[in-house]
């Protein structure tokens, strides 16, 4: 495992963790979610990367500009910047791995960003992509409000994401992010899988329609939404599903 920095399109350095395997046939770029979801998902990402290493595949887990150990202030960036960061991560992975198949694995908002940065990839695995930025913002506000009621905290910031200040650019981009409906996304030429993660074994119609639009296989993984949990739970159903998809 190699922890390092690599350049983004603006020159600000991105932090990444590379797991390289000799003779690898495939290289995965992990596209993380944001804020609390990123923290809760981090350990699961590591476990998935370790599984990929064990089956002979490289992986790069990185942090977008303004998040984690990467340079920059969160409020200065937006979705277009972070899509560009995924492309920078792909370029970095290609430099390190040489000619291997590039695959993107994204979670939540990271999955939505991966859809817009997929051109250099042959494979997409999208875990619970955010289809509506407006709904996402509304849910984040709901969570913030409930948490404040429990803690008795009356000083709620108007625009933030779990304490991260939401810049105007990002707010506007989230308000208009909409991957639902006919024509919202184009078909992906490579192999793609969309995974619903939650209590239901039937894939919800909006997610199924999105999967169909990009030409993906859709699956459900029955397990708690690990990106919302405070306590770690081993993501066995997800790991097993990802093994199944290894074709």
Which residue matches tokens 């804020």?
A: 35
Beta carbon nearer to another protein, 55 or 147: 147
For position 142 contacting another protein by CB under 8 A, the verdict is yes
Could you tell me the two tokens for 147?
């948490």
Q: How far is CA 208 from CA 61, 116, 129, 222, in A?
A: 27, 19, 11, 16
For position 141 contacting another protein by CB under 8 A, the verdict is yes
**Least Å from the CB of residue 161 to another protein:** 14
**Least Å from the CB of residue 200 to another protein:** 7
| 45 Cβ contact partners less than 8 Å away, ≥ 6 residues apart | 30, 32, 61, 107
Q: Applying CB under 8 A, which of residues 25, 143, 187, 234 lies at the interface with another protein?
A: 143
Burial class (CB in 10 A: 0-12, 13-18, 19+), 176: exposed
**Least Å from the CB of residue 139 to another protein:** 7
For position 145 contacting another protein by CB under 8 A, the verdict is yes
Q: Applying CB under 8 A, which of residues 9, 50, 228, 236 lies at the interface with another protein?
A: 228
Q: How far apart are CA 14 and CA 212, in angstroms?
A: 33
For position 139 contacting another protein by CB under 8 A, the verdict is yes
**Least Å from the CB of residue 66 to another protein:** 25
Q: How far apart are CA 79 and CA 83, in angstroms?
A: 6
Beta strand pairing call for 26-31 and 101-107:
parallel
The count of residues interacting with another protein (CB under 8 A) is 19
The residues binding another protein (CB under 8 A) are 139, 141-143, 145-147, 149-151, 199-200, 204, 223-225, 228-230
């Amino acid at each position: 495992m190699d922890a390092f920095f690599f350049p983004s399109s603006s020159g600000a350095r991105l932090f990444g963790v590379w797991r390289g395997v000799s003779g690898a046939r495939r290289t995965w770029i992990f596209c993380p979610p944001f804020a609390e979801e990123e923290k809760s998902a981090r350990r699961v990402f590591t476990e998935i990367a370790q599984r990929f290493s064990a089956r002979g595949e490289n992986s790069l887990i990185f942090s977008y500009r303004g998040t984690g150990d990467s340079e920059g202030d969160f409020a200065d960036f937006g979705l277009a910047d972070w899509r560009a960061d995924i492309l920078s991560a792909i370029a970095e992975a290609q430099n390190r791995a040489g000619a291997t198949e590039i695959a993107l694995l994204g979670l939540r908002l990271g999955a939505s960003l991966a859809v817009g940065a997929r051109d250099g990839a042959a494979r997409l695995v999208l875990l619970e992509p955010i289809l509506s930025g407006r709904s996402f913002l509304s849910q984040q506000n709901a969570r913030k409000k409930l948490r404040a009621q429990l803690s008795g905290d009356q000083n709620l910031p108007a625009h933030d994401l779990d304490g991260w200040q939401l810049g105007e650019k990002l707010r506007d981009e989230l308000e208009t992010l909409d991957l639902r409906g006919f024509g919202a996304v184009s078909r992906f030429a490579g192999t793609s899988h969309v995974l619903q993660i939650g209590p239901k074994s039937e894939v919800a119609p909006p997610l199924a329609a999105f999967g169909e639009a990009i030409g993906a296989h859709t699956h459900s993984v029955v397990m708690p939404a690990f990106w919302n949990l405070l306590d770690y739970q081993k993501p066995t159903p997800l790991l097993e599903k990802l093994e199944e998809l290894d074709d």
